[in-house]
Structure 1
């Protein structure tokens, strides 16, 4: 059989996806469309395949909330993105792998920083990809000339007089920061550029190293390890980040930082989008803290802006920040705002400035403009605003109306910047551009992280903007928030104060497994550290959590002083409670805020996550199995019955309880069986179960109808719900190739194309057509204008008509593809009889030009789709409902699809139904329901005989023996629990029953059903308790006595006797060292309490008393001899006990058997009466002793 997998919307999901591509939307980007026009069959084109599904940034941020350790946060993000993309790309990669075998595809490179696959593919493969589901965009990954080679270089005399520190470094006050010993040490800055001269003296020894990457990074242009810089741009940028002046001049803002060399631009300055995305992915995966990108794509090149922003959002969530050049089109060399800033410099910053009016999201990008040595804007520096209002799925930062995204974010010196040479290991060179400004900001980011490595991209972005020297009244589209100042930025950077290291869970008041379980009170222990070089005194801390499943009951604590570098552990510092419905597969994020009165403006925030150990059910994808009852195409077609196979999985960390699942639909087009609930046994973690239901689609269901199936599951206190979508049928699609257009300057409904497309649709005989839906695309290429497209649909079967109006293209006067769709056309409504209906699609263009017809307008293959709506003739179908006793069943409800009727006094109900296979369900009071019974309507009036099983009731009326009603008893019939006091589904026969009620004796009996209901009037006998309070003659409680009653001996110390009926009882009480006691009591209508006094000096008649037990001399003075015969091989204890029952001395005896003689020292024992006790653990014997 063949299964087709459907996706569905989960109301409780673990993953939220960005909005998908609508059915029929063109996925081939204009750049690729143009490239295809000029590509021969079999020729390979480098393409980007961006998937529809992308990991939602908000969900990714939520998953890492409270993770204090940035590397753990990074690892979580990388793992989530990689797993998500691997699953999403699975079918696509399988297809591409198959195509690789025939050399139709090469160099497949899957990415996860954005869910995308890059490869080389032929025209034929690209056409197939365009029809595959789940793909948002197919784009030509062109080798684009990115660097501005025409940008003028500085004259040679600029290099004549070297300074110890480059002017731009002094201007931003970086040296004052170095004096505070912050140089960027330990911070990795990835330079995504033309490569780096790693042998330059000013960088040597501080290049990133990795055992798998011998040249300090990777070459994404040539797909090798050669990261050498032939062009010069990348080395210059790396020098502005970290040049330390070994060769003469300090050119780097962060001379202690480490450089990761990622070559994404070739020796002439050209690169691909996918190459840069792969480098961003590399940066995130291999530990870069900062990315420097002195590159960008002009909007006129039609970059995939969505993919760029998704990649930068994911980088931000991984804790990586990027400094990106704004571009050098400030003189409108490319396009005016809002298209003046290059991509990805047009992405929003991690932090939203208060001056930003138009709302929108965030990303890792800090966009950098360029200034001169006088803080004037460089003439080439690109300017904002930008807008994302038409870029899905973001559609934010609206412009005109709206202010758009204010950009750049900051500016830095970028005119005439001295930095490192790529051709000399001791040389320097001067360049200008926003490319020179961006690495200065990247260097400042490294300084900030050197002071406080725990800062997030949002916090770094805020520090950069708020500490910048303002060059305009507010954040502007020229200067952003101002020119960076390193000293101000580092002053505004809080040092790394008190922070979280680890935690322990104390749930001793719960199940004591050390985990967060539902309904527990948790005591939280913390290990905290002070990583700073300062003493921090009088520290206080507050614990908080935004989780709705956590209630903090003790969340404030005083911690005292922390010495520099000190680590301290606090046991049970905070207390919180977990919800009874704490979900599994859920991370609870906690935030810690520490403060010190030494500086009330500082708050040190750190956090951590704790996994919830609870159940969590997820509904898996389902399959349609129509192999037995349908056409075995894996799709539910109109009129077809199939199996729907659902999966439910426990993705939590704790076993679920038993599950009750319901599957329902409100659709008028499908029926499900069985209706009602389905029981599933408890699922262990990672265990899944499958559930099957039968589904039938009505014959008249319109093709490609989207229906919803509602799933619910209840497991203990947990409730889950999901909505699944199922598509019924597939519309016919024209697949005979492209449909060319005909040149006709005045095309109208009567015009006839030279080569129309022809397609037939078959509908059931006798059907009445009610409308036609059509959709298709027309592509204009090679100079053709979309505004010149004309088309019309004709129904050419006898009785068919032509559309009354011709469809025209949009006003856009550029080559491209446009979608056409019309619903409810009546052009086939006059055709009678059903069968095969033929249609023609006529396509025209009103502009001729030269060349073949298909060069200017055509319908691409597999884009013309038709749906014919119809109704079938209905026939009177009578349902006659009886039961096994040949009685007519009145008021039974008969349901067929979305039609239903009730039976009359003759047991009959009439429903009008079309020919074909159907299913009926019948319900009636006091009868068993019949569901989804198949039957056929053969085109004639007919009667369907339905027999129901009549059932009977057994009703219990319960009272006590005094005549008072007894409520809420548990009634079981044949071991099955009865709801309430009435069993309502019984056949003829004899039944055993049991009644249980607290405070009453169990009642057992039987009854017989014989063609009628049964009423049982039963009287329950109450039961009572007897409580014994046992003391000795001195009023002390005796705790080891045994009660003997009703031929039963109760364990020693059990003084509470239950389940006693009304009547009289005799009992006896025995206890070692006490005389036996006998007595009696009566129970009339209440519980009894008995107070019993035992007299000391009694001995039990036990096995040990039969042995010889001699105490001499008696009376005794200094010593006393004890002799006895041990009849069992046990360990004995000899004790000296005073008259108050207190033990004075104990003499253990080793395990032995036979006669034993011992001497007991009486030194220090006062004169008086005592007892010598021998005890073997299960019995004891006493002898009186006088000491004088």
Structure 2
């Protein structure tokens, strides 16, 4: 039953008009976790006190202006333009500080996606010297950001003779019947890796040459340079990728675990374990915008994905990741994030899932009721979070321990890939659709006949059955309805 109010639609469209210029041109010149008395992150101060040194990010005082990218219609030209503006701006504005560090024999790595430098082993005098520079906005530590770890896990049979319940619930098979299966679309995840030889994933891996050989350049990236081919030592990344693309949809196999089975996938290992260092995350964010060979060389932005799924995040209200989102949006890449497993209270949505113009996704169960762990709004950057909800409890998908291994996980990590897969279906139905139109179709095509949630049933003054709201967002994902919103 669709009950999106006209006032709610007007609210959202007005919000888009206000937010798009703000986020595309926003400067991330202040850190949420910054110490009150200056530019140095409190996390860094604690590390220096305990260890005498710390690996730190040095955020420059300004960011490149990417406003002109929106007017570039050709996708490859737009991707290249964003990359060129970001890299040129970082090279110019970091010139003096790079010289400063080299003269002191300090090891560092520059990053262009958020105009920062990663400095290894900085002691207190160096941190203080960097903080005193007028071209530096702040110093931030290299935190460990948690995956939105499944709240429940269980083994699953290796094969079933059915489309999984969650795939049926979002009406993906009805979209396949219309001829839209994700064809021509590339999805990425920043996660724990992907087992590329898994039976449910191998055929859709973009590095699969189709003749028994594989090319991992531009299709796989491990910032630690430990793995030269896709692998998953944790299982989380293989599970989220399976929900996006696993199986063959309307093909001969009846074991279908993914929303968009004919989309291709690539992956970056932003998380070495169930925690992701911010170094790995920023390196992965750059790679998503402009993929490289497995050794990090020869960037080719034409290989960038259309959609990037992120089932990780920290506490709400942290603006450190805004630059990644800003760059992806300017390049035309759609970012999807889980909102976190910190429910059932209000105000528990995490970052970056609480950002503007990010699809922040909460989790429901098979009865169309919000999961008790699913985080609720208001969000730190926009009250209306989550944007949508999707199946997240007791979801069966592929894992990394074997080529026919599956498991049942529960969490918002499992919900977000349903939205990413649905965006792939939308793009296969109507290629070159802009990000705002995709967001409208995703939100306005939702199911709103949902049950009373656990915990508070009203957040920010809006009850769960008045849409949109800070509990269910715009409603539960419905791929067929979203396709109809976009194409009719």
- Same-fold call, TM cutoff 0.5: yes
Deviation of 1:205 after TM superposition, in Å, equals 2.8
Alignment of 1:99-498 (within 5 A): 99=104, 101=105, 105-106=106-107, 108-123=108-123, 124-148=125-149, 151-154=151-154, 156=155, 159=157, 162-209=160-207, 213-214=216-217, 216-222=219-225, 225-245=228-248, 249-266=255-272, 268-286=273-291, 287-299=304-316, 305-332=318-345, 337=347, 340-349=348-357, 365-388=358-381, 397=382, 405-470=383-448, 471=450, 472-494=465-487
Q: Distance in 2 between matches of 1:379 and 1:188?
A: 32
Alignment of 1:488-887 (within 5 A): 488-494=481-487
Deviation of 1:122 after TM superposition, in Å, equals 2.2
Structure with the larger strand share: 1
**In the alignment, what sits opposite 1:811?**
none
Instruction: Pick closer, same or farther for the CA change 1:38–1:425 going to 2, 3 Å.
Output: same
Q: Distance in 1 between matches of 2:384 and 2:63?
A: 26
SS of 2:362's partner is strand
Q: Distance in 2 between matches of 1:432 and 1:440?
A: 13
CA contact (8 A) 1:221 1:265 kept: no
Per-residue deviation, residues 762-788 of structure 1 (Å, max 9, x unmatched): xxxxxxxxxxxxxxxxxxxxxxxxxxx
Per-residue deviation, residues 967-986 of structure 1 (Å, max 9, x unmatched): xxxxxxxxxxxxxxxxxxxx
SS of 1:253's partner is coil
Deviation of 1:459 after TM superposition, in Å, equals 1.3
Q: Distance in 2 between matches of 1:147 and 1:415?
A: 13
SS of 1:87's partner is helix
Residue 97 in 1 paired to residue 97 in 2? Answer: no
CA contact (8 A) 1:68 1:454 kept: no
Deviation of 1:17 after TM superposition, in Å, equals 8.5
Deviation of 1:213 after TM superposition, in Å, equals 4.0
Structure with the larger helix share: 2
Q: Distance in 2 between matches of 1:196 and 1:225?
A: 12
Q: Distance in 2 between matches of 1:144 and 1:298?
A: 9
Q: Distance in 2 between matches of 1:247 and 1:216?
A: 25
Instruction: Pick closer, same or farther for the CA change 1:474–1:216 going to 2, 3 Å.
Output: same
Q: Distance in 2 between matches of 1:442 and 1:52?
A: 33
Q: Which has the higher contact order (CA 8 A, sep 6+)?
A: 2
Q: Distance in 1 between matches of 2:83 and 2:394?
A: 39
CA contact (8 A) 1:247 1:427 kept: no
Instruction: Pick closer, same or farther for the CA change 1:223–1:128 going to 2, 3 Å.
Output: farther
CA contact (8 A) 1:17 1:53 kept: no
Larger gyration radius, structure 1 or structure 2:
1
CA contact (8 A) 1:69 1:454 kept: no
Q: Distance in 1 between matches of 2:288 and 2:216?
A: 13
Instruction: Pick closer, same or farther for the CA change 1:379–1:159 going to 2, 3 Å.
Output: farther
**In the alignment, what sits opposite 2:55?**
46
SS of 1:38's partner is helix
Per-residue deviation, residues 709-764 of structure 1 (Å, max 9, x unmatched): xxxxxxxxxxxxxxxxxxxxxxxxxxxxxxxxxxxxxxxxxxxxxxxxxxxxxxxx
CA contact (8 A) 1:215 1:225 kept: no
Q: Distance in 2 between matches of 1:223 and 1:258?
A: 24
Deviation of 1:163 after TM superposition, in Å, equals 3.9
Q: Distance in 2 between matches of 1:265 and 1:76?
A: 29
**Structure 2: runs of 5 or more not aligned:** 1-24, 31-35, 209-213, 292-303, 451-464
CA contact (8 A) 1:183 1:447 kept: yes
Q: Distance in 2 between matches of 1:415 and 1:450?
A: 27
SS of 2:176's partner is helix
**In the alignment, what sits opposite 2:297?**
none
Deviation of 1:178 after TM superposition, in Å, equals 1.0
Deviation of 1:109 after TM superposition, in Å, equals 2.3
**In the alignment, what sits opposite 1:35?**
47
CA contact (8 A) 1:172 1:484 kept: yes
**In the alignment, what sits opposite 2:457?**
none
Deviation of 1:248 after TM superposition, in Å, equals 5.3
Instruction: Pick closer, same or farther for the CA change 1:83–1:345 going to 2, 3 Å.
Output: same
Q: Distance in 2 between matches of 1:19 and 1:235?
A: 32
Instruction: Pick closer, same or farther for the CA change 1:65–1:324 going to 2, 3 Å.
Output: closer
**In the alignment, what sits opposite 2:462?**
none
Q: TM-score, normalised by structure 2?
A: 0.81
Instruction: Pick closer, same or farther for the CA change 1:91–1:224 going to 2, 3 Å.
Output: farther
CA contact (8 A) 2:28 2:323 kept: no
Q: Distance in 1 between matches of 2:41 and 2:84?
A: 30
Deviation of 1:25 after TM superposition, in Å, equals 6.9
Q: Distance in 2 between matches of 1:17 and 1:113?
A: 13
Count of residue correspondences: 424
Deviation of 1:453 after TM superposition, in Å, equals 2.0
Q: Distance in 2 between matches of 1:69 and 1:160?
A: 43
Deviation of 1:430 after TM superposition, in Å, equals 0.6
Deviation of 1:298 after TM superposition, in Å, equals 2.1
Instruction: Pick closer, same or farther for the CA change 1:466–1:193 going to 2, 3 Å.
Output: same
Q: Distance in 2 between matches of 1:422 and 1:224?
A: 14
Q: Distance in 1 between matches of 2:27 and 2:368?
A: 42
SS of 2:279's partner is helix
Q: Distance in 2 between matches of 1:64 and 1:147?
A: 32
Deviation of 1:66 after TM superposition, in Å, equals 3.4
Deviation of 1:18 after TM superposition, in Å, equals 4.2
